[in-house]
């Protein structure tokens, strides 16, 4: 195979950049010796991934439609491992107690991963029977998962059939990258690529069509799509829920919006063939 001087120098520079990263981070972000890696959606027939747009509570309780989706998604798995890396460290104990109360209303018990570090934390992920990844700062969440080596282990468990549920920031990292998050980049990340267990890039907290900030959000997402022509963006409203299960994507509760190229429309509740087609591709 002939390699041009420009290609050789580019590849050498990329590999050199990757070599300066910590080992776990380098392994996560490299593929075939290049940095960053290529297309980043992975799935399996066993993968069960649920994402919500955030603000899933009202009047101190989880919204009824979200509670119904939780019961469907988790089934008989009642012990949930919380991943609260998107919260500021000082808030994680409080967030854990709040989520424990909310989930406890439906018979779920929770414990948060932030109580463990290093190999002990990786072991908790490997042994978990279900996950819930909460909201907060998306860039902090992704960076922590990368730096700890937890991202790849979490992906492996989801592909092996452990249910994943992510809200807001947890929704953002389910997609191939965090390109359409609403969050400020409060910390640096080596790449926007994330878990890649849901086929579309997500935009949580998407306004409803009757809200005054709807047109502004649509315009921003359309600009993103014009600049990232190969990507599909899924806009997910507050308390809206989308689920990938057994290779099929359904809208459990709206509003949910589809963007690709110049196309933009609201998805109906029920099967979402536009998104299932991405899984089958």
Q: Which candidate in 70, 85, 114, 205 is catalytic?
A: 205
191 is known as an active-site residue: no
Residues 6 or more apart whose CB falls under 8 angstroms from that of 31 comprise 37, 38
Number of other residues whose CB lies within 10 A of the CB of residue 199: 23
> Would residue 106 show up in a list of annotated catalytic residues for this protein?
no
Angle at CA 21, nearest 5°, toward 19 and 23? Answer: 90
CA 277 to mean position of chain CA atoms = 19
Q: Is 98 exposed, middle or buried (0-12, 13-18, 19+ CB in 10 A)?
A: middle
Which residue spans within the chain are E strands per DSSP? Answer: 48-52, 57-58, 61-62, 79-83, 109-112, 131-133, 164-167, 201-204, 232-236, 241-245, 248-253, 256-260, 263-267, 270-271
Catalytic residue among 52, 168, 194, 206: 168
In DSSP notation, 181-221 reads: --S---S--S-SB----SSSEEEESPPPTTSTTHHHHHHHH
Q: Is 168 a catalytic residue?
A: yes
What residues are paired with 249 via a beta bridge?
Answer: 244
Q: Which residue of the set 48, 87, 114, 183 is catalytic?
A: 183
Strand, helix or coil for residue 114: helix
Among all residues, which ones are annotated catalytic? 168, 183, 205
């Amino acid at each position: 195979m002939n390699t041009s001087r420009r290609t050789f120098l580019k590849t050498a520079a990329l590999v050199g950049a990757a070599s300066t990263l910590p080992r776990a981070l380098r392994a996560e972000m490299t593929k075939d010796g290049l940095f960053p890696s290529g297309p980043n959606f992975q799935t399996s027939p066993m993968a069960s991934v649920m994402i919500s747009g955030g603000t899933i509570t009202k009047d101190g309780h989880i919204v009824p439609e979200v509670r119904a989706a939780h019961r469907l998604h988790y089934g008989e798995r009642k012990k949930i491992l919380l991943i609260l890396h998107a919260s500021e460290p000082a808030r994680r104990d409080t967030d854990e107690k709040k989520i424990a109360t909310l989930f406890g209303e439906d018979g779920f018990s929770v414990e948060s991963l932030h109580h463990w570090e290093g190999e002990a934390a990786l072991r908790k992920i490997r042994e978990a029977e279900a996950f819930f990844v909460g909201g907060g700062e998306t860039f902090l969440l992704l960076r922590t998962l990368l730096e700890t080596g937890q991202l790849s282990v979490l992906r492996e468990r989801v592909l092996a059939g452990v249910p994943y549920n992510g809200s807001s920031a947890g929704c953002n990292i389910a997609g191939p990258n965090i390109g359409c998050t609403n969050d400020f980049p409060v910390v640096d990340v080596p790449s926007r690529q994330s878990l890649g267990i849901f086929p579309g890039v997500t935009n949580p907290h998407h306004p409803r069509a009757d809200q005054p900030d709807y047109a502004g959000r649509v315009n921003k997402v359309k600009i993103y799509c014009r600049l990232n022509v190969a990507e599909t963006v899924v806009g997910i409203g507050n308390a809206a829920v989308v689920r990938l299960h057994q290779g099929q994507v359904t809208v459990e509760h709206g509003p949910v919006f589809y963007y690709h190229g110049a196309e933009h429309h609201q998805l109906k509740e029920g099967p979402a063939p536009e998104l299932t087609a991405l899984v089958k591709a």
